[in-house]
Amino acid sequence: MGVSLKDVAQRAGVSVKTVSNVVNNYPHVTPHMRAKVQQAIDELGYRPNLTARHLRKGRTGIIALAVPELGNPYFAELAGAVIDEAARHDYTVLVDHTAGLREQEVLVSQGFRSHVIDGLILSPIHLETEDLTGRDETVPLVLLGEREYEAPYDHIAIDNVAAAREAVGHLVSLGRRRIAFIGSRTGRERQPAHLRLHGWREELTAAGLMPDDALVAATDGYGRADGAAAMAALLDRGERPDAVFAYNDLIAIGAMRTLVERGLTVPGDVAVVGFDDIEDSRFAAVRLTTIAPDKQTIARLAVECLLERLAGHPAEPRRTRPQYRLLVRESTGAVPAGQHLTGRGDASAAPG
């Protein structure tokens, strides 16, 4: 097998401890000793066995990130940001996906694999507060996303109600009156889309428009196909909204596809706003106006939170609200000039 500390020690004619000291940059080592040991290390091609180190220290240097679906670009982009952020702190990320299934989310949150990971970042969809009781408290948990929990864990999420209100408010300011919401969840006692739906209601009410439940379209999942189907269902039952606020960009993109197929124009007949700011939205045939959460910051905060807990800083569980922006693009009829080619030049409205 591999070369061990002992082999190096033998080769260098010193004790194991000394080699360990050199490897770990322990300050009090004679330069001469250090050189001798280093030479043995180089000659033998020694590489520390992290598993052993971890067993000893009780840390693995690995954190887990569990998201619903890597196929959803929002989560893929977020995962990428988390990996980068973790690497910055010499941590590696084990990525898992739950398909948004409560059962899977429970499994992950209850510390499935707990002995391999130092901490967990979880973005749940159908997990409930009661699932979080009796967790193995030795593995810190940071929650991400819209769902709210009555449990003592750090939670990082933008202000979903405010963001949704801003999206709907934008539509209202454009003169839209029949604003649909697509992406509520079918037949669930608890509503994952709760906050965004709530924001939709509040803003409409504030604008003096009656929130019309006939304009709320449920979906089975959160993908493009779900958005397309829900939009079709809405139109099929005779509703004719003049705007759509979608739970996320994928649903919005699916909905736009259906609108086009039905001969309706975006934003002419129907204006559309999404949520997430995934890259696809910037290159759609009609660029999508959307709420852009600050993914970098979310990733950074999540990792930092976790590492602070790991470092043993007690602190109260924190509720952190990163920034977001409303990016106004073609799908709501505002087309700032000269940004066609890059897909970068977004017009931004009020920050969160």
List interacting residues with DNA (CB under 7 A). Answer: 1-2, 4-6, 14-18, 20-21, 23-24, 28-30, 32-33, 46, 48-49, 52-53, 55-57
Question: Nearer Cβ to a second copy, position 287 or 325?
Answer: 287
Residue 29 touches which member of a second copy, DNA, none, C-beta under 5-8 Å by kind: DNA
Q: What tokens appear for 143 in the block?
A: 């929650």
In the bound state with DNA, the residue whose beta carbon lies nearer, of 46 and 324, is 46
Tell me: does residue 44 bind a second copy (CB under 8 A).
no
The three-state secondary structure class of 65 is strand
Please, which residue, 55 or 315, has the CB nearer to DNA?
55
115 binds a second copy (CB under 8 A): yes
Candidate residues 150, 213, 283, 316; the one interacting with a second copy per rule CB under 8 A: 283
Smallest gap from residue 54 Cβ to a second copy (A): 5
Q: Name residues whose C-beta falls within 8 Å of residue 208's C-beta, 6 or more positions apart in sequence.
A: none
Judged by beta carbon distances under 5 to 8 A according to partner kind, the member of DNA, a second copy, none in contact with residue 281 is none
35/315 with CB nearer DNA: 35
Task: Say which entry of DNA, a second copy, none residue 138 contacts (CB below 5 to 8 A, set by partner kind).
Answer: a second copy
| Count of residues touching a second copy (by CB under 8 A) | 61
State yes or no: residue 229 binds a second copy (CB under 8 A): yes
- Give rounded-to-5 percent helix, strand, coil for the chain: 40, 15, 40
Residue with Cβ nearer a second copy (79 or 157): 79
SS (HEC) of 296-341: HHHHHHHHHHHHHHHCCCCCCCCEECCCEEEEECHHHCCCCCCCCC
Instruction: By CB under 8 A, name the one of 176, 224, 300, 325 that touches a second copy.
Output: 224
Q: Rounded CA gap, 41 and 4, in Å?
A: 10
Q: Smallest gap, in angstroms, from Cβ of residue 7 to DNA?
A: 8
Residue 35 binds a second copy, judged by CB under 8 A: no
Cis status, amide bond into 192, omega within 30 of 0: no
| Residue pointed to by tokens 């829900």 | 230
Instruction: Taking the CA atoms of 269, 274, 279 and 280 in sequence, report the sign of the dihedral they define.
Output: negative
Binding mask 58-97 for a second copy (x = CB under 8 A): x-xxx------xxx-x--xx-xx--x--------xxxxxx
Element (H, E) at 56: helix 50-57
> What secondary structure letter does DSSP report for 177?
-
Distance CA 201, CA 207 (A): 10
**DSSP secondary structure letters along 75-142:** HHHHHHHHHHHHHHTT-EEEEEE-TT-HHHHHHHHTTTTTTT-SEEEE--SS--GGGGTT--TTS-EE
Which residues lie near a second copy (CB under 8 A)? 1-2, 47-52, 54-55, 58, 60-62, 69-71, 73, 76-77, 79-80, 83, 92-97, 111, 113-116, 136, 138, 223-225, 228-229, 232, 253-254, 256-258, 260-261, 279-280, 282-286, 340-344
